[in-house]
């Protein structure tokens, strides 16, 4: 899971796209087809990722921008799952 998330984020942030080429047709929604993401778990995920980013010592301005993108993505996933009925 650690390797997969690292690979996804590498591609998502503009690096090598191996995660996508190794998984034809996969996307962030299909990766969560068996996970019920609610607004609450999305908030927990955002906090965990913000802590993880801060632990890396990333440049604070860059970290803040990534956190905004993470927040949009996590909340969007919760909304999409709520619309399709969990």
User: Does 81 interact with ligand HEM (rule: CB under 6 A)?
Assistant: no
User: Does position 53 bind ligand HEM by CB under 6 A?
Assistant: no
DSSP-derived letter for residue 16 is -
- Contacting residue, 11, 41, 58, 67, with ligand HEM by CB under 6 A: 41
Q: What backbone phi and psi angles, to 5 degrees, belong to 26?
A: -75, 150
Residue 84, phi then psi, degrees to nearest 5: -90, 0
Site for ligand HEM, rule CB under 6 A = 1, 4-5, 8, 28, 31-32, 34-35, 37, 41-42, 45, 73-74, 77
């Amino acid at each position: 899971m650690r390797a997969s998330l690292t690979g996804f984020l590498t591609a998502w942030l503009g690096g090598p796209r191996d995660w996508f080429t190794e998984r034809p047709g996969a996307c962030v929604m299909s990766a969560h087809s068996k996970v019920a993401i609610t607004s609450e778990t999305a908030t927990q995920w955002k906090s965990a990722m913000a802590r993880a980013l801060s632990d890396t010592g990333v440049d604070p301005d860059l970290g803040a921008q990534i956190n905004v993108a993470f927040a949009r993505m996590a909340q969007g996933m919760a909304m999409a799952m709520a619309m399709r009925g969990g």
